[in-house]
Every structure is written in structure tokens, then in C-alpha cells.
């Protein structure tokens, strides 16, 4: 089976998860490519695509959506993965891509998400944002900030690898 893992990673968090997924797929023929290296005409040569991004303002990066709009031939199976700075993924960040895939009769066979420390905003900027919220919510935000430090961590990487292995068992 020919598999593509493609992703956008601004901070390196999503790249780390993409590499862990790649390690979980070691028995297969896998191409691992950042989104900016993808040619939209190449998707048709894959049996399965793992599509990943960090989550920014509740959505995946626009480069992922823009690439998917240009794809000419779609494989039938996709898997989503993402990293996010909140402790829980509250949004549906792949909503625009899902619409594109549904129009092209593709199936999403799995989703993986994990926490990733916000390495883009400085700690000072994050603290300013936290200090601007109501006091009742500030304590929780400070605790949450502490819990995201160093993520994805070793456990997250192991979980991503196991997730990839479980996808292979599904198909």
C-alpha cells in the first residue's frame, strides 16, 4: 500500500507527530512531505493520505485547504491529524477539507489530535492574554498553560505511532 503523510507545521509540533505516524507505518511504502512540497496532481498515486496541521484560531492552516482545493485525483481514504494549544480539541478544524473530500467520495477513516505547546506566541504574550480574561477563568487558563508545556511529549509521540498502527489494522 502506498501512503502519503503531508502536513503543515509552523512550530514543529505537527511535524513531530507526522514523523511518529511515519514510524508507525514502517511496514508500508510511505512518503512524508510538508504541505509546501506537495504537488496537487500527485495525490492520486496514493492509497491512503494522512493529512495534518496545527490548529490556528479553530481551523487548520489555509495552505492545507488551498492545496486540497487544487487536487485533481483523490485517493478514497484519508486520515486527519492535528496539534493544538488547548487541552481539548473543541472545534472541527478540518471542516473545509471534509467538504472537499465528501464531494469527491472520500472517506475519513481516522482522526488523531494532541496538545502542542504554543511555541509561536511568546510567554509574555500568552501571559498578557491570560491576564485579560476574567479572574474566575484565569486560574484555569494558567493551569492549562502549565499542562501544555513540553507537548507533544514522549507519550504523545507513542500514541501517534500506535494510532498509525491501528489505522493499518482497520484497512
Tens place of pLDDT per residue across the chain (171 aa): 999 999 999 999 999 999 999 999 999 999 999 999 999 999 999 999 999 999 987 899 999 999 999 999 999 999 999 999 876 776 789 999 999 999 999 999 999 999 999 887 777 887 788 888 888 788 787 788 788 889 999 999 999 999 999 999 988
**Which helix (H) or strand (E) covers residue 84, if one does?**
strand 77-84
pLDDT at 90: 65
DSSP conformation letters of 103-154: HTT-EEEEEEEEE----SS-HHHHHHHHHTS-HHHHHHHHHHHHHHTT-S-H
Report the alpha-carbon distance of residue 109 to residue 71 in Å, rounded: 19
pLDDT at 57: 78
What's the whole-model pTM score? 0.89
Domain 2-116+151-170 fold is: Rossmann fold (3.40.50)
Q: Which residue ranges make up each domain of the chain?
A: 2-116+151-170, 118-150
Report which of 128, 111, 140 is spatially closest to residue 51, judged by C-alpha positions.
111
Amino acid at each position: 500500500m502506498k501512503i502519503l503523510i503531508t502536513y503543515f507545521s509552523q512550530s514543529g509540533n505537527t511535524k513531530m507527530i507526522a514523523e511518529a505516524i511515519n514510524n508507525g507505518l514502517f511496514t508500508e511504502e510511505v512518503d512524508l512531505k510538508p504541505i509546501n512540497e506537495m504537488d496537487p496532481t500527485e495525490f492520486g498515486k496514493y492509497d491512503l493520505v494522512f493529512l495534518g496541521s496545527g490548529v490556528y484560531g479553530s481551523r487548520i492552516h489555509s495552505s492545507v485547504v488551498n492545496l486540497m482545493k487544487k487536487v485533481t485525483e483523490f485517493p478514497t481514504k484519508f486520515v486527519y491529524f492535528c496539534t493544538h494549544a488547548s487541552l481539548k480539541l473543541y472545534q472541527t478544524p478540518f471542516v473545509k477539507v471534509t467538504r472537499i473530500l465528501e464531494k469527491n467520495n472520500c472517506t475519513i477513516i481516522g482522526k488523531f489530535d494532541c496538545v502542542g505547546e504554543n511555541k509561536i506566541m511568546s510567554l509574555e504574550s500568552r501571559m498578557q492574554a491570560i491576564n485579560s480574561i476574567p479572574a474566575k477563568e484565569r486560574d484555569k487558563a494558567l493551569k492549562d498553560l502549565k499542562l501544555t508545556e513540553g507537548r507533544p511529549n514522549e507519550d504523545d509521540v507513542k500514541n501517534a505511532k500506535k494510532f498509525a498502527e491501528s489505522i493499518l489494522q482497520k484497512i
